[in-house]
């Protein structure tokens, strides 16, 4: 219907595709009904009436499941359509031909690039929102390609006389049945339930299911509009708004000292502020804003307010096992996140300490070839082996710790190479005359442990 517009007007491929995959009135009505049912279920489970919380809440499970199943198929088909559109706009021979078609071709090529960039932004957002969904699309495409290649191979064997006609027909029937079945079924992906998302969080993994049900009964489930500020820390312990978990959609995180990051389903925000009761310099979260999802709606967010955290702490002080385990897991997760954020700074200080020690050993009056050899051995060997070299017994978990130590060693040496320039740490460790030069793993160290920001694929964000 949109193929033959007036020639001077752009085709608007992306606008048409976006409307088809996420902006239809039926799909919007289904999405609104689904989120409303989720909110009603959450409210019913918080009721003090046993009949309402246990019976009526389960009545809504069936319609919620039906809507979720249908929307899963629609969103998967929509994402697959957008992927095909992006591939056709970027990898087709016609696009290459436009590069050599003069000013008119350049005008059309600009339109093609604009549509391709919009489609790619949609794909990236869906990759952040639900990585498993994108993986399902890629797996489906790989299976289709593999079966198509098998059909081509069987045809080539038949033409070459390697198989007779009966064997060729039998093999083609098997491959075609699999291909048709896979085409009818499409990509397979299932939207995770709230309990599954919460149970997969690092600080809730292994916690008793009753604790998760208690959190669901006391927390708030809310759908935010696009662009809405869903979390903001003004300052002071009284201003901490709690923490939140993203159940669907995308949330944009604005930090005080780190770059903007995005969270998808299973992402956690505000954990460090809750644990520390205030902003932690260097890792503090300033605000979180709602972004869109595949249906054009805002994210569905699970809010855990400070009153719930206070009740959890009170239960832990009373000695309740589940509350104590959950509080400890929250502290561990916050500590892990802070250490991950500060890892490169710590490595930088380690490098400076090592360089100062090497320079002091070179310039000191008691310098000797044996001392310099010991320093080089400490830098070039894994930490477990180096500890044994200076008389420290190796740890029990020798294999795993040696791997971690090797990664840390490469990080330290890479940092030293970057600071020292050509020659790196070996220029600092340059031996005196008549000593053999230093060669070994550090001489060609590769950046295997570069610092990276905490991303949404880990589904965890502090603050």
What's the pLDDT tens digit per position in 302-334?
A: 899 888 888 888 988 988 888 888 888 888 888
Q: Tens digit of pLDDT for each residue in 55-78?
A: 777 788 888 888 888 887 787 888
Residue 359 lies in a domain: yes
Same domain, 55 and 178: yes
Q: What is the pLDDT of residue 271?
A: 86
Task: Give the pLDDT confidence score for residue 201 in this predicted structure.
Answer: 87
Most confident listed range (109-113, 233-237, 337-341): 109-113
126 alpha carbon, distance to own chain's centre: 11
| CA angle (34, 39, 40) in 5-degree steps | 95
Length of the chain: 463
State how far the Cα of 279 lies from the Cα of 392, in Å rounded to an integer: 40
Domain-located, residue 353:
yes
Q: Give the per-residue pLDDT at 429.
A: 41
The domain in which residue 403 lies consists of 343-444
Closest CA to 385 of 372, 395, 375, 373: 395
Binning pLDDT at 50, 70 and 90, where does residue 351 land?
A: confident
Helix, strand, coil percentages, rounded to 5, for the chain: 60, 10, 30
- Token look-up 């949109």 returns 2
Helix axes 25-45, 209-218, angle to 10 degrees: 110
Spacing of C-alpha 454 from chain mean position: 9
Lowest-confidence segment of 103-117, 243-257, 278-292, 402-416 by average pLDDT: 402-416
Give the mean model confidence (pLDDT) for residues 175-194.
Answer: 81
Q: Is residue 441 scored above 70 in pLDDT? A: no
Domain check: are 332 and 410 in the same one? no
Question: Quick one: 365 and 392 in the same domain?
Answer: yes
Whether 426 shows a pLDDT value over 50: the answer reads no
> Structural domain tally of the chain?
3
For residue 156, what are the contacts with CB-CB under 8 A and spacing of at least 6? none
pLDDT top residue among 168 and 359? 168
Backbone angles phi, psi at 220, to 5 degrees: -115, 140
Distance CA 456, CA 127 (A): 10
Query: Cβ-count burial of 199 within 10 angstroms (0-12 exposed, 13-18 middle, 19+ buried)?
Result: middle
Q: What is the rounded average pLDDT of the residues 152-177?
A: 87
**What pLDDT score does 402 carry?**
54
Single residue among 156, 185, 214 that ends a domain in this structure: 185
Range with the largest mean pLDDT of 313-317, 360-364, 375-379:
313-317
Is the domain of 41 the same as that of 174?
Answer: yes
Token readout for 107 is: 């005008």
């Amino acid at each position: 219907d949109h193929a033959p517009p007036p020639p001077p007007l752009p085709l608007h491929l992306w606008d048409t595709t976006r409307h088809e995959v996420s902006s239809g009135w039926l799909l919007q009505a289904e999405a609104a009904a689904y989120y409303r049912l989720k909110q009603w279920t959450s409210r019913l489970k918080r009721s003090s009436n046993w009949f309402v919380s246990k019976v009526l809440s389960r009545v809504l499970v069936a319609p919620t499941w039906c809507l979720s199943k249908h929307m899963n198929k629609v969103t998967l088909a929509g994402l697959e359509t957008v992927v095909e559109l992006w591939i056709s706009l970027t990898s087709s021979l016609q696009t290459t031909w436009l590069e050599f078609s003069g000013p008119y071709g350049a005008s059309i090529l600009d339109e093609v690039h604009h549509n391709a960039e919009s489609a790619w932004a949609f794909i990236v957002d869906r990759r952040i929102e639900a990585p498993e969904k994108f993986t399902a699309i890629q797996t489906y495409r790989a299976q289709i390609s593999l079966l198509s290649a098998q059909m081509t191979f069987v045809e080539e064997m038949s033409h070459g006389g390697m198989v007779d006609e009966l064997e060729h027909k039998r093999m083609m029937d098997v491959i075609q049945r699999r291909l048709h079945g896979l085409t009818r079924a499409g990509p397979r992906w299932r939207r995770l339930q709230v309990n599954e998302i919460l149970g997969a969080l690092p600080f809730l993994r292994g916690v008793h299911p009753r604790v998760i049900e208690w959190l669901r009964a006391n927390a708030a489930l809310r759908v935010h509009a696009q662009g809405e500020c869903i979390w903001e820390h003004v300052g002071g312990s009284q201003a901490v708004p709690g923490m939140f978990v993203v159940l669907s959609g995308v949330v944009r995180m604005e930090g005080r000292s780190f770059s903007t990051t995005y969270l998808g389903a299973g992402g956690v925000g505000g954990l460090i502020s809750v644990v520390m009761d205030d902003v932690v310099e260097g890792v503090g979260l300033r605000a979180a804003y709602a972004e869109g999802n595949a249906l054009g709606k805002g994210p569905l967010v699970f809010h855990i307010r400070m009153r719930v955290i206070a009740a959890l702490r009170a239960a832990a002080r009373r000695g309740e096992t589940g509350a104590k385990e959950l509080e400890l897991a929250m502290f561990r997760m916050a500590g892990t996140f802070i250490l991950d954020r500060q890892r490169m700074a710590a490595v930088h200080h380690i490098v400076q300490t090592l360089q100062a020690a090497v320079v002091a050993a070179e310039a000191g009056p008691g310098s000797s070839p044996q001392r310099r050899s010991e320093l080089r051995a400490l830098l070039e060997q894994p930490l477990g082996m180096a500890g044994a070299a200076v008389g420290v017994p190796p740890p029990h978990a020798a294999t795993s710790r040696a791997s971690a130590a090797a990664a840390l060693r490469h990080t330290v040496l890479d940092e030293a190479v970057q600071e020292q320039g050509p020659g790196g740490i070996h220029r600092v460790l340059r031996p005196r005359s008549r000593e053999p030069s230093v060669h070994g793993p550090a001489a060609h160290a590769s950046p295997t442990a570069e610092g990276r920001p905490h991303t949404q694929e880990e589904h965890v964000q502090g603050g």
